[in-house]
């Protein structure tokens, strides 16, 4: 089931590439995780805004939550570590729906799934690969894009990831958020999140959270903070400076050649022809 490759920093599990920071033992034991009914899961494909949503939730006054590291980060001792958390747990993950621990589904835990334009996601993940020692070395943008389109990158295909979650978009315990909507109106997005989590927040508090969690403010804070091993929202690094790069919408246009755009769009049309969520990105392509 497991094959070691990709410079020794990635391994394949159930056909999907994972960082070696996620052990085979942990990945193969996910269904033994005991979810609590009040658990909240922050889910996305990498570089889609998980840190952003996490910062928003952490900034909610009187939320009485503990943000944990990703459920797939570490070894089998992870579940014992999560058991020790007394407050309501907010747990990030980049897993596709099918790999999510079964008790999360049976207990109908609240799940926020964050989606970002795949072209911007690809560019952001390319820079992440270049700067992150926990990921393979990449020579050029063109070489990376080919891998991205094949799904030969960490956490697999963006298309498969989105489709696995879209099948459950109408489940009452799942809230789908778009990165671009958050950029457009953060206060409105915060209202959606707090309502979904059942936490009352006043208008003035929402405005405070929106200011505190604006991209520029978070990037400034990350630059001032040292890497904190206890505050790891990403299964691929604990270095917060790697997390916040540009956060721009539409930055892909500075990277894609016209041919690359055509190849990408053809694959997008083929893979996502039955996807309702994919239609959202027509305005950003």
* Closest residue by Cα to residue 18 from 68, 75, 83: 75
Can 231 be counted among the known catalytic residues?
no
Catalytic residue among 51, 94, 127, 161: 94
Residues designated as active site: 94
């Amino acid at each position: 089931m497991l094959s070691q490759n990709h410079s020794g920093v990635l391994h394949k599990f159930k056909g999907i590439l994972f960082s070696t920071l996620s052990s085979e033992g942990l990945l193969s034991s996910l269904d033994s995780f005991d979810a609590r009914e009040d658990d909240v899961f922050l889910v996305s494909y990498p570089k889609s805004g998980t840190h952003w949503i996490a910062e928003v939730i952490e900034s909610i006054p009187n939320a009485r939550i503990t943000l944990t590291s990703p459920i797939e980060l570490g070894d089998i001792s992870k579940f014992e570590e999560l058991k020790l958390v007394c407050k309501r747990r907010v747990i990030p993950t980049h897993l596709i729906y099918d790999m999510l621990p079964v008790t999360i589904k049976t207990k109908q835990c609240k799940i926020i799934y964050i989606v970002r334009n795949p072209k911007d996601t690809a560019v952001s993940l390319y820079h992440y690969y270049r700067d992150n020692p926990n990921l393979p070395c990449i020579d050029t943008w063109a070489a990376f894009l080919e891998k991205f389109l094949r799904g030969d990158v960490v956490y697999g295909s963006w298309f498969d990831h989105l489709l696995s979650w879209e099948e459950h978009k109408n489940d009452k315990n799942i809230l789908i958020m778009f990165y671009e909507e958050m950029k457009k109106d953060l206060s409105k997005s915060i209202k959606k999140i707090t309502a979904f989590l059942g936490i009352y927040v006043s208008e003035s508090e929402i405005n405070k959270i929106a200011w505190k969690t604006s991209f520029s403010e978070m990037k400034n804070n990350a630059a001032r903070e040292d890497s904190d091993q206890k505050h790891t929202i990403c299964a691929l690094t604990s270095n917060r400076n790697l997390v916040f790069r540009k956060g721009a919408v539409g930055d892909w246009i500075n990277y894609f050649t016209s041919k690359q755009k055509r190849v990408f769009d053809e694959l997008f049309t083929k893979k996502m022809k039955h996807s309702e969520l994919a239609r959202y990105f027509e305005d950003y392509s």
